[in-house]
Copies of this chain bind each other. A is one copy, B any other.
Amino acid sequence: MLSINQTKHIRSLQQKKFRTEFKQFVAEGNTLVCDLISSSYKVEMIIASNDWLESNSSLLNKSKATIISAKENELVRISTLKTPNQVIAVFNIPETRIDIESIKSELTIVLDDIKDPGNLGTIIRLADWFGIKNIVCSNETVDVYNSKVIQATMGSIARVNIFYTDLVEFLKSLPSNLKIYGTLLNGESVYSKTLDEKAIIVIGNESKGISESILPFINEKLLIPSYPIGTTNSKAESLNASIATAIICSEFRRKN
């Protein structure tokens, strides 16, 4: 049974200030919780139906978490979803530090103020698909431990490292020969341009694009051509941020 204090604590983690205070976040659903338990994330508490606990006993044997058997109405009370899942778990937020050596030798996504939780979750999921291990976010990007982001990652949060930092300071710290790609209206077609496998891809905010302070760091300008080429009249003004990220990452992987 879930105590009143436990219920209150878990519900408090829906707010960023309490996630920051307790260094904890909540994940819901079988795939997501199992992926996270099997990853380097440390699980603190597992609240689940009897059925779920029985069918996952081998996974739970390895864990030091507090395990609570809960009835459906208890799961409803702590869930952020309309239809709650069989399992909800509390994990620790790890302390992370950007490894510049790893950034220099791989493809990295940099997010310049992505605000929509669905977009961030989707970008983490597609980074996982395309084997991108690191995502560096501006401090103004939506919190990755927001429940909507966590759910939209579909478990990929367990396999992609997310960092929050001052982007100007971060980009200044990179070697000057590293290519930093950004999508801009005066860019070259992503289809024909040479794309370096060890590089940075900067994705701008959903409505404002790439910030003024970040623009000087972009040394390789890209464009996703609309179709038919050259016709911009009465057409879509832009692509959704996660869609643009997907097309660009797909092109990087196609060429390498």
Task: List residues of A whose CB falls within 8 A of some B CB.
Answer: 31, 38, 118, 122, 125-126, 128-131, 154-156, 159, 191, 224-228, 231, 234-240, 242-243, 246-247, 250-251, 253-254
Contact = CB atoms under 8 A, between A and B. Distances in A.
A100 to B, nearest CB: 22
A108 to B, nearest CB: 14
A77 B235 CA distance: 32
Contacts of A118: 118
A129 B253 contact: no
A191 to B, nearest CB: 5
A131 B238 CA distance: 13
A126 B243 contact: yes
Nearest to A153: B236
A187 B226 CA distance: 27
Contacts of A126: 236, 239-240, 243
A125 B227 CA distance: 13
Given A131-B235, A159-B235, 4 more contacts: A131-B227, A225-B253, A247-B247, A247-B250
B130 A227 contact: yes
Contacts of A238: 154
A228 B191 contact: no
Nearest to A116: B118
Nearest to A255: B191
B240 A253 contact: no
Contacts of A227: 129-131, 253
Given A130-B227, A225-B253, A227-B253, A122 B156 contact: no
Contacts of A125: 236, 239-240, 243
Nearest to A225: B253
A137 B95 CA distance: 46
A194 B170 CA distance: 42
A235 B129 CA distance: 7
A131 B227 CA distance: 5
A129 B226 contact: yes
24 contacts: A122-B240, A122-B243, A125-B236, A125-B243, A126-B236, A126-B240, A128-B235, A128-B236, A129-B224, A129-B226, A129-B227, A129-B235, A129-B239, A130-B226, A131-B227, A156-B236, A159-B234, A159-B235, A159-B236, A225-B253, A227-B253, A243-B243, A247-B250, A250-B251
